[in-house]
């Protein structure tokens, strides 16, 4: 699955992914309406907190790896 926007997803899953993409690409444009949208599809405040923490953590790790030139998926060598 390369593009979640065309996949058959539950409203909650699509809402979470839309939120995570916006937080990743346009974090300065986040508003309380983004939180309300997640609540409207069934997310609790604790679950929203988890989405924000996980999104932020992955963004952090990606930037550290990119900044240091780390290959996140090195090719596997045959031990034989």
Domain boundaries of the chain, sorted by first residue = 8-68
Residue pair 43/12 in contact (Cβ under 8 Å)? The answer is yes
Q: How confident is the model at residue 15 (pLDDT cuts 50, 70, 90)?
A: very high
CA distance 53 to 45: 12
Q: What is the DSSP letter of 29?
A: G
- The CATH number of domain 8-68 is 1.20.810.10: no
Closest C-alpha to 26, from 37, 34, 36, 15: 34
pLDDT at position 78, please? 58
Instruction: Please check the confidence at residue 75 and state whether its pLDDT lies above 80.
Output: no
Q: How confident is the model at residue 80 (pLDDT cuts 50, 70, 90)?
A: low
pLDDT tens-digit profile of 17-63? Answer: 999 999 999 999 999 999 999 999 999 999 999 999 999 999 999 99
pLDDT at position 26, please? 96
pLDDT at position 2, please? 78
């Amino acid at each position: 699955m390369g593009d979640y926007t065309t996949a058959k997803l539950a409203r909650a899953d699509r809402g979470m992914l839309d939120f995570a993409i916006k937080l990743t690409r346009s974090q300065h444009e986040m508003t309380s309406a983004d939180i309300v949208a997640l609540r409207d599809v069934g997310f609790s405040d604790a679950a929203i907190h988890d989405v924000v923490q996980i999104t932020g953590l992955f963004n952090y790790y990606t930037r550290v790896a990119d900044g240091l030139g780390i290959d996140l998926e090195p090719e596997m060598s045959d031990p034989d």
